[in-house]
Amino acid sequence: MPATDFDLLVTGHETEGVLAAVAALRAGARVALAAPAGALLGGLLTEDGLAFVDRDSRHLIPPQDSPHDGLFGQFLARAGVPLVALEARRGHATLEEMLAGVTRLEGDATAVRLEAGRIVAVTVGGQEVTSRHVIDATPDLDLAELAGMRFATGFQEYGDARSLGISPLPLVYGVTPAMIMETCRALSADSALEALKQRVFGDRAFLELGAGDDYVLVGPPHLGLAYHRWRDAQGFPAGPYPFEADGFNVAVLGPAVTSWNGLIYFARDPQAALRLSREGADVFFREEAARFGRFLREGLGWRDARVELPRGVYVRQTRHALDVHHRLTLAELAAGYAEGSVGTFSYYADFRGFHSPHVPGPVTGHVILGAGLASAVRNLGLASRAGGYTPFAHSFCRLVQYNATLGTALGVAAAQAGEDLGVVPAAAIREELSRQGALAADPAGFERNPVVAAALRADPIISREG
C-alpha cells in the first residue's frame, strides 16, 4: 500500500489532533498527521504559550493520580505536569513520543477532493493523500472550510457584535510566586483601585487570590486595573484591540519563570481575530508585550522582570461550525444531554469579556460525538474549538481537554468505521477507549447542574440561545 493511503488523516498539530491520531493508532488504524514544518506539537498549549492548562474541575489532583482524564491526562502525566503548568518544549517532546507509529506529513492541507459526499483525497505539501477518514484538528477548521462547511461568527447570531477576548500569553522571567502574591495583596488594599473595580465591574464575582505548587491564581482584577491605569497614564493608544482588565492565571514553570494568561483584548473585526489565530502575534501584540514588561518593572517595581512573547496569541473565539450532526448548546450541557456521549468534562462557563451575571459553579457536561461530525461530509470529523457548538456552549467546549476527549473518540471511530464516520455507536467507541485506559467518563458533578441550569434560564443574555 502506498505511503499516501491511510485509514485516518489528521490535519493540524493541536493537542486534540495529536491525541486523536494516537487513539486511532492504538485502535489498529493506519494513521497520518499533517502539520506545518517546524511547528511545536500541542499548538495552543505549546507554541502559543497557554502553559496554564484548563483541567477538568473535578480532578484537580496531579494528573498521574487521576483515573478520569483519559488520554489527555496521560499526556499531562507523561509531560511531568505537577497540577496545571505545562512547559512548552516538554509538551512537544511528549507528544512526539506518543506519536511513534504515526506517519508524519509536512505542510497544511491546501485542497480537498470530494466525491459523493466524502473526502477522497487531501493535498498536503503539494502531494495528494488518500484516506478513508479525515479529522480536522486545526483551531479554525481550515480543512472543513475547504470542504464547504458553513460557519457562524462570534455572538452575531444573537444580534451581538462581540466575541470572547484575545490574550497574549507572556512568559515572565525574574519574578517569583511570592512576589506576585505580595504585590496582589497590596493592590487589593489600594482604595483607589477598589473604587475603580466597583465602577467597572459592579457586583461581578471574582475568584480569590491563591497559589499552589505550580500556579498562582490572581482572581481579583486589581493588578489588571493597575495595568490599565498605568497604560492610560503613559498615554498609550488603544490601538486596534481595546484592552480590558481582568484576573490572571499564572503558571509557575520554574523558581522565577511564570506564564501569564489574563491580558484581555478585543478584535472589532471577526476577520482580524481569524488572522491572529492563524498567523500569531502581530506588531501590536509584540509592542503590548513590551509595554507589559515596562509596567512590571516601573509600575510594580519588579526591576528584574523580563517578558518574552510566544509566537501565537490565545484567540478564544473565531467561528463555530454549523453543518454538524448535532449543534450543542450550553443549556443542553447543563441539562445533562447525553445522546452520543463519549465522555464527560466539568468546568466553569468562562465568558471572558462577555459580561453576564455570574453562573454559579462549574457545568458538568457530556462530550457529544455529534458535535464533531460533519453532516454534509460523511467521513469528516472535527476536533477543534471551532466545532459544532453554539457561542455560549463554546465558552465551555472550546477548552482543550473537552476537544481532546472528543478527538480521541473520533480517532477510535475512524479506526472502526467503514465509509461513514457517523455510524459507529458511541457505546462501541467507549468500549475501545476503556480498553485503551483512556475513557474520560466520570459521573461526579452532575448533581450541581440544576442550579446552573436555572441560572442560565434566568439570564436574559444567555437565554437567547434557546
Judgement on whether residues 286 and 325 belong to the same structural domain of the protein: no
pLDDT above 50 for 1? no
Judgement on whether residues 122 and 176 belong to the same structural domain of the protein: no
Residue 156, classified by CB atoms within 10 Å of its CB into exposed (0-12), middle (13-18) or buried (19+), is middle
CA-CA distances (angstroms) from residue 229 to 39, 195, 225, 235, 413? 37, 13, 6, 10, 52
Q: Calculate mean pLDDT across residues 237-265.
A: 94
Q: Are 16 and 403 in contact (CB under 8 A)?
A: yes
Judgement on whether residues 447 and 308 belong to the same structural domain of the protein: no
Q: How would residue 2 be classed by pLDDT, with cut points 50, 70 and 90?
A: very low
What distance in Å separates the CA atoms of residue 255 and residue 252, rounded to the nearest whole number? Answer: 8
Judgement on whether residues 266 and 280 belong to the same structural domain of the protein: yes
Of 315, 330, 351, the position where a domain reaches its end is: 315
Q: How would residue 202 be classed by pLDDT, with cut points 50, 70 and 90?
A: confident
Q: Are 132 and 379 in contact (CB under 8 A)?
A: yes
Q: In what order do the strands lie in the sheet with 314-315?
A: 243-244, 264-265, 166-167, 314-315
Number of neighbouring beta carbons within 10 Å of residue 229: 17
Q: Calculate mean pLDDT across residues 372-386.
A: 98
Judgement on whether residues 311 and 277 belong to the same structural domain of the protein: yes
What distance in Å separates the CA atoms of residue 6 and residue 30, rounded to the nearest whole number? Answer: 5
Higher pLDDT, 131 or 201: 131
Q: Calculate mean pLDDT across residues 445-457.
A: 90
Tell me, yes or no, whether 161 lies in a domain: no
Judgement on whether residues 381 and 268 belong to the same structural domain of the protein: no
Judgement on whether residues 171 and 299 belong to the same structural domain of the protein: yes
Identify the weakest region by mean pLDDT among 68-82, 184-198, 346-360, 431-445.
346-360
Cα 25 off chain centre by: 24
CATH number at residue 14: 3.50.50.60
What distance in Å separates the CA atoms of residue 349 and residue 339, rounded to the nearest whole number? Answer: 21
Identify the weakest region by mean pLDDT among 192-196, 351-355, 399-403.
351-355
Q: Are 385 and 339 in contact (CB under 8 A)?
A: no
Q: Which residue, 29, 186, 182, is CA-closest to 101?
A: 29
Average pLDDT value over all residues in the chain: 94
Residue 279, classified by CB atoms within 10 Å of its CB into exposed (0-12), middle (13-18) or buried (19+), is exposed
DSSP code for 359 = P
Higher pLDDT, 70 or 202: 70
Tell me what pLDDT residue 460 has: 77
Write out the E strands in 255-351: 257-261, 264-265, 306-308, 314-315, 319-321, 341-347
The three-class DSSP label of residue 413 is helix
pLDDT above 60 for 357? no
pLDDT above 80 for 127? yes
Of 253, 280, 315, the position where a domain reaches its end is: 315
Model pLDDT for residues 138-159, shown as the tens digit of each residue: 999 999 999 999 999 988 888 8
Judgement on whether residues 310 and 326 belong to the same structural domain of the protein: no
Judgement on whether residues 352 and 445 belong to the same structural domain of the protein: yes
Q: Are 53 and 347 in contact (CB under 8 A)?
A: no
pLDDT above 70 for 400? yes
What range does the domain containing 128 cover? 5-153+319-465
The three-class DSSP label of residue 42 is strand
Judgement on whether residues 174 and 234 belong to the same structural domain of the protein: yes
Overall number of domains in the chain: 2
Of 268, 286, 315, the position where a domain reaches its end is: 315
Tell me what pLDDT residue 358 has: 56
CA Rg value for the chain: 21
Identify the weakest region by mean pLDDT among 204-208, 266-270, 458-462.
458-462
Q: Which residue, 406, 440, 400, 407, is CA-closest to 45?
A: 400
Judgement on whether residues 301 and 323 belong to the same structural domain of the protein: no
Q: Are 96 and 102 in contact (CB under 8 A)?
A: no
Judgement on whether residues 34 and 109 belong to the same structural domain of the protein: yes
What distance in Å separates the CA atoms of residue 405 and residue 47, rounded to the nearest whole number? Answer: 21
Q: 0.75 exceeded by the pTM?
A: yes
What distance in Å separates the CA atoms of residue 310 and residue 308, rounded to the nearest whole number? Answer: 7
**CA torsion angle 427 428 429 435 (round to 10):** 110
Cα 397 off chain centre by: 8
Q: Calculate mean pLDDT across residues 205-214.
A: 92
Tell me, yes or no, whether 160 lies in a domain: no
Tell me, yes or no, whether 158 lies in a domain: no
Model pLDDT for residues 107-117, shown as the tens digit of each residue: 999 999 999 99
